[in-house]
A and B are shown apart, each in its own frame.
Chain A
Amino acid sequence: MTNNNKLEICFRSNEDITIIELIGFLDAHTAPEFENSLKNAIDDGIYKIIVNFKKLDYISSAGLGVLMAFIEDIRLKDGDIKLAELSDKVYAIFDLLGFPMLFDIDIDENISLNKFKQQLG
Chain B
Amino acid sequence: MSTVKKKYKKSICIACKTEELSIIRDFVQFWAASYGFSQLDTNKITIAVDEVCSNLIKYGYKDIEGKEICIKIEFIHKDFIINITDDAIPFDLTEKPAINMDEYFEKFKKGGLGIHIVKSVMDEIKYYPSNSKDKKNTLRLTKQLL
Contact residues of A with B, CB < 8 Å?
2, 4-5, 25, 27-29, 58, 60-62, 64-65, 68-69, 71-72, 89, 92-93, 96-98, 101-102
Q: Which residues of A contact B117 (CB under 8 A)?
A: 60-61, 93, 96-97
A27-B54, A28-B54, A72-B108 given; A60·B22 CB < 8 A: no
The 6 A-B pairs at the shortest CB distance, nearest first, are namely A29-B18, A28-B54, A61-B113, A72-B108, A5-B22, A61-B114
The 10 listed contacts between A and B (C-beta, < 8 Å) are A2-B22, A5-B19, A5-B22, A58-B25, A62-B114, A69-B110, A96-B117, A96-B120, A96-B121, A98-B102
Contact residues of B with A, CB < 8 Å?
18-19, 21-23, 25-26, 39-40, 43-44, 47, 50-51, 54, 57-58, 101-102, 105, 108-111, 113-114, 116-117, 120-121
Q: Give chain B's interface secondary structure class.
A: helix
Q: Which residues of A contact B18 (CB under 8 A)?
A: 5, 27-29
Q: Which residues of B contact A89 (CB under 8 A)?
A: 39, 43
A61 touching B101, Cβ below 8 Å:
no
B21 touching A29, Cβ below 8 Å:
yes
Q: Which residues of A contact B57 (CB under 8 A)?
A: 28
A4 touching B54, Cβ below 8 Å:
no
A68 touching B108, Cβ below 8 Å:
yes
